[in-house]
Structure 1
Amino acid sequence: MTTYQCPLCATALQPSDRYPRHVCPDCAQRAQSPDGRRLEFFNLGLSGGYGARYADTGQPYDSHDCFIDGRLCHAGEARFGGIVIELADDARASPAR
């Protein structure tokens, strides 16, 4: 059996060929903008679509890039709906550290 761990916290997760560097839900909840503001990601409707906003104001966040624990990640719409966040290949440190 193939095993997979969240690349940020090592929590055991279901492996995914489509999203090989996906983070766990607990880590996803810590997503921040480059200036350190917490972010929320969501589907625009029942048929999908990607949306992001600042958690404190609800204002739109116009990017797929975010930082979790100072590591660059990329958020997007998952296949068949939902949101997936993956550790970026270039997981550089956040400028807001």
Structure 2
Amino acid sequence: MTDTGDVTDTLDVAAALRGGLRDRRQAWSFLRSFAADWTGRPLRPADGLSEAELAAREALLGFRLPAALREGYALLGHRADLAAVHADLPWHWVN
């Protein structure tokens, strides 16, 4: 993998997104590929928050997260290299 700025030269992002992403399943599939290529580390099940962890954080917030945000944290919520930008959310308050 060679870093060329915002994207790497091993994943053809334009080709991957050609025709668009028609649903969240396709979007998460693209994100898995992009994350693996960009970080050199594929997403694993342990990288996401569990249902119990999501429920605990929603309880702190006082509302249920939107479906796409919930799915995203279930996919990569433990990956600081991918999710740390959202540190203003109370994810790091709950053990």
TM-score range, shorter chain: under 0.3
Alignment TM-score, normalising by the size of structure 1: 0.27
Write 1 or 2 for the structure with the bigger share of helix: 2
Larger radius of gyration: 2
**TM-score, normalising length: structure 2:** 0.27
Higher strand proportion (structure 1 or 2): 1
